[in-house]
Amino acid sequence: MLGRFLALRSFYALSLLLGVTLLTFALMVWFGPDQTYELIGRNSTPEQIDELRAELGYDQPFWNRYGHWLVELASGDLGLSNRSGESVSTLLRRALPVTAALVLPGFLLGNLLGLAAGLWAAWRRGSLWDRLILGASVTGLSLSFLVIIIALQLLLCTPYGLNWFPARGWRMDSLGAYLLHVTVPTLALLLVTLGYNTRFYRAVAAEELQRDHVRTALAYGATPLSLLSGPVLRNCLVPVITRVLYSIPLVLVSGSLLLETYFGIPGIGRVTFDAISSGDQPVLLAVVTLTAALFVVVQLLAEFACRLADPRGRLP
Amino acid sequence: MKSDSTLRLALAVLLLSLQTACKDAADSAADLTEPKRYVHSLDGVPASLDPAQAGTRYAKFLVLNLYDTLYRYRYLARPYELAPNLAAAMPELSKDGLTLTIRLKRGVHFIDDPAFADGKGREVTAQDVIYSLQRHFDPATRSQGAWLWQGRIEGLDAWKDQGSNYEQPVSGLRALDRHTLEIRLTQPYPQFVHTLAQGFAGVVPREAVTAYGLELGRRAVGSGPFRLQSIDSARARLVRNERFRQETFDLALEGFDPERDQGLGLTALDGRSSPFIDELEVEFIPEDAARWSSFYSGLTQFTKVPVAQFGQVLESTAPPTLKPELQERFQLQAAPELGFVYTSFNMADPEIGYSEDPQRNARNRALRCAIVKGFDWTQRNQRFFGGIGEVFPGVIPPRLPEYDPEQDRGSTEADPAAARALLAAADWDAGNLPVLEYGFPASVTERQLFEQFRGFMEAIGYPRAKIQPLSYASFGDYYRAYSQGQVMLITSAWTMDYPDAENTVQLFYGPHRAPGANAASFDDPQFNTAFSAAATLPPSPQRTELYRAANQRVIDECAAITGLVRRLVLLWDRQVILQPDWAFVGGYAMRFVDLRDPAGQR
């Protein structure tokens, strides 16, 4: 049973990876920026342009280029950045920990606070607290991430506001430096994710709170805390796990893109942004492949975790 | 309401406590070691640190600090003066001006790096200089600087044509001994020594290229005043190269001007050996607001002030002076950029440029001249350059010896009535005027520049619908489009590679037509003859006359709407001893930066 499941999942994963990379490759080749003119010097001649195109492999047919890239990928070689010449693996190894350190506090806080607020709002459903929490969530949902970032920067990081935190940059050479640099991005991430999380967790908990076993537990004198942190939370775990795990790839790449661009943080979002805007195909393909691979892993993890959380579930 | 205030107060206290705790912890960590660190800022990110790819200001800035070049520019001398750097002296030039003999300083070593057999940096030799020039002609290098020496050094182009085989000698590049180099030119090239002071001329050891290949773009194995500690898209950290040659800083020799340089603290450097700082940190901050905030809050010690901030920084613009409240903290320099902004017409486009029909040719010229006449440089200067840019006619900007202050400025003065008269005289009317396609890389400022241009043209009777924007996603896309003749009006900014009029006049030299630097594909026999004759001459009254004649042809033929020299407002912390330079040689200043006292150290 497990063998069949793994074989099926591997087939899906491989199909997904091939499909995503093929689509990205085609988009980059046919619609992406042509790096020749980013890399060529002044006073270039048509011959020099042709030479550079050949160096970049642009003169090769599409399928040759894609096939060559797949062979390199299979051998674990992600190639070199066309822009800087740096090994893409080195680039990602350097950028990924930065992004992880950047988004982790906001991600954890956003989910934990969202879960707590969601459970509390569901418990006090219809009350003033519920309306307040829901109102705040909707406000958070309505605000653009960009607006939140700019507002927090102005308020906390500039001489026109409180000027308590650095407006940009990233340091992890000491805990103090790390906290100083991560606080404002964390607040921004928190503000933008809290609304979504709270509403979702409230909906899940509200449904669970209507079940018979909750009414029975209450009749037996269970306290709100014991009930919410016990059977209710346990029974909500499947959607919670699914949501948390599936949001990891999104937060890592797209969530950090704006943060890293506006705060000048050298993480994976910034790397992706630079690769898109400059047409650096090896880097962009590596990021896309990595994201797709992450989705595959997350999918597997989610299935196993859900199975553990709810043994009634079955592997296909 | 009360709970709301309490909540806000609690949040503020929490944030303040967090900030104080973090700052204390960060400061105490910093106090453990007290290197003399200077934090610079740039408004862009260098793509590569390989000297062969040092095509941008940002890359040059770092490359000049990590690698040695044979020559450099004196720190304070204006006009710029060349000085020996890795070379022991200025080159010995043969009587025919074709052979240069250059002696290298002895005992100069590359930094230690695993690329060397024993990990120890070996001595820099004449062969390294030859190799570093040769690799520009190897397609695998993806050089952006080969054009500086293309067709200039005997046998180098042929060496490339024969496969760029490094075992094969180049007749024009010879190492006479370990420390003496002979270069033979194909024709006199008065700017040649300038090319040896460019980032492109950084001397690279072959071992590093062999070991790292294209990855040399993120490593640096040079013999410059600093070593690279780390680099990413946000910052570069450089530390002093302990093995950098000990040379005494001679203030007078570097061009110190007591009147101009008063109060900068430069006299404290005299007689000492550079570099004076232990660490050089360069923050890459393209966003204007973030760059200014970082500087104002003390995170960086230098900034180029965005035009949008001029009102908050400058007390007056003529001449630019700092607001009194900022004078205690900051030093100001408002220096003209070495280069200019201009818009050229695509002369290869028969709709506006050259036409085989003589009558249409004349009408097109009249159309271009009308557009030039309709363009209001004063307004452009006010709106986009803080009103402190310098408008000049033609392509030889002020401060170059060939600039003619007496030249007629008619081509830079807006006269909509005269423009309309020109159009009418050439039988142009709203119905038969061609659609103008104005190209630019996508950005808000570029779009605003276009809209202003469109306003100027409407004032001379051009129908609004016939002035179309051509916006490109990236500069590369835009560059490709105009290199392939797809853009009718090409907006550009040219930053000079060296302080010689040849570098700007060549922008309209026929053989340099697109995809070369002559994006306009201007091809005027009189211009070409004058330029060709001047190109091999050393600076002289004869050469000046030739360049001025060429310049006049660009104006007479209305090949471009030109030009404006941007004046850049630079600010730096008073604790920093510095005379900054934003031009092509900006990187050289870093080896002479110092901090006034321990209070200025971070």
Query: Would you say residue B2 has pLDDT above 50?
Result: no
Torsion on CA atoms A230, A234, A235, A240, rounded to nearest 10: 130
- Are residues B142 and A55, on separate chains, in Cβ contact within 8 Å? yes
ipTM value: 0.79
Amino acid B290: pLDDT: 82
Contacts with A274 from chain B: Cβ below 8 Å: 45, 233
Peptide bond between residue B510 and the one before it cis (omega within 30 degrees of 0): no
B48 and A44 within 8 Å at the Cβ level: the answer is no
> Where exactly are the structural domains of chain A?
92-280
Nearest CA in chain A to B296: A159
- Least confident range from A119-123, A305-309, B406-410: namely A305-309
Identify the pLDDT of residue A110: 92
- Residues in B touching A88 (Cβ below 8 Å): none
Average pLDDT over residues B134-146: 94
Give yes or no for B145 touching A (CB within 8 A).
yes
Q: Which of A249, A252, A243, A253 is nearest to A294 (CA)?
A: A249
Q: Model confidence at B601, in pLDDT bands (50, 70, 90)?
A: very low
Does residue A316 register a pLDDT over 70? no
Report the range of poorest mean pLDDT among A100-109, A256-265, B239-248, B369-378.
A256-265
Handedness of CA B157, B161, B163, B169 (dihedral sign): negative
Percent of chain A with pLDDT over 90: 25
A28-32, A47-51, A71-75, B34-38: which range is least confident on average? Answer: A28-32
What per-residue confidence (pLDDT) applies to B602?
Answer: 39
- Say how far apart CA B594 and CA B577 lie, in whole Å: 5
d(CA A43, CA A161): 47
Q: Give per-residue pLDDT as tens, A245-284.
A: 888 887 777 667 888 888 889 999 888 888 888 888 899 8
Q: Which residue of B has its CA nearest to A170?
A: B234
**CATH superfamily of this structure's domain B339-565:** Dipeptide-binding Protein; Domain 3 (3.10.105.10)
Residue A153: is its pLDDT beyond 60?
yes
A33–B474: do the CB atoms touch at under 8 Å?
Answer: yes
A5 confidence band (pLDDT: 50, 70, 90): confident
What pLDDT, on the 0 to 100 scale, is given for residue B1?
43
CA distance B484 to chain A (A): 10
Residues of A in contact with B285 (CB under 8 A): 168, 264
Q: Which of A206-215, B44-53, B79-88, B223-232 has the lowest mean pLDDT?
A: A206-215
Indicate if the pLDDT at residue A234 is higher than 50. Answer: yes
For residue B286, which of A162, A89, A273, A286 has the smallest C-alpha distance? A273
Q: Which residues contact A191 (CB under 8 A, 6 or more apart)?
A: A140, A143, A148, A152
CA distance, residue A100 to nearest chain B CA (Å): 16
Of A36, A87, A176, the CB nearest to B24: A176
Is the predicted pLDDT of residue B476 greater than 70, yes or no? yes
What per-residue confidence (pLDDT) applies to A42?
81
A264/B284 Cβ within 8 A: yes
Spell out the domain ranges in chain B. Answer: 339-565
**Which residue of chain A is at minimal alpha-carbon distance from B521?**
A43
CB contact under 8 A, A177 and B232: no
Q: Which residues of B touch A80 (CB under 8 A)?
A: 213-215
Q: What is the pLDDT of residues A35-73, one digit of tens each?
A: 888 888 888 888 889 999 998 888 999 999 999 888 988
Name the average pLDDT for chain B.
Answer: 91
Q: Which residues pair with B230 in a beta bridge?
A: B237
What does the pLDDT read at residue A32?
77
Taking contacts as CB-CB distances below 8 angstroms, the residues of chain B near A39 are 53, 142, 144
Least confident of A174-178, B46-50, B170-174, B418-422: A174-178
pLDDT at B85 over 80: yes
Q: What is the pLDDT of residue A277?
A: 80
Q: Which residue of B has its CA nearest to A46?
A: B515
- Which of the pair, B578 or A243, is modelled with greater confidence? B578
- pLDDT for B196: 97
**Residue A313 clears pLDDT 70, i.e. is over it:** no
Subunit contact A180:B517, Cβ cutoff 8 A: no
Determine the pLDDT at residue B318.
Answer: 83
Report, as an integer, the average pLDDT of B254-279.
Answer: 94
Q: With an 8 Å Cβ cutoff, are A167 and B475 in contact?
A: no
Q: Which of residues 535-594 of B touch A (CB under 8 A)?
A: none
- What global pTM score does this model have? 0.86
CATH dotted code for A92-280? 1.10.3720.10
The whole-number average pLDDT for the span B284-303 is 88
Among B198, B226, B207, smallest CA distance to B66 is for B226
**Residue range B438-462: mean pLDDT, rounded:** 95
pLDDT at B308: 86
**Mutation site for A-interface testing, chosen from B24, B136, B142 by largest number of A Cβ within 10 Å:** B142
Query: What pLDDT sits at residue B519?
Result: 94
The answer to whether A41 contacts B143, with C-beta atoms less than 8 Å apart, is yes
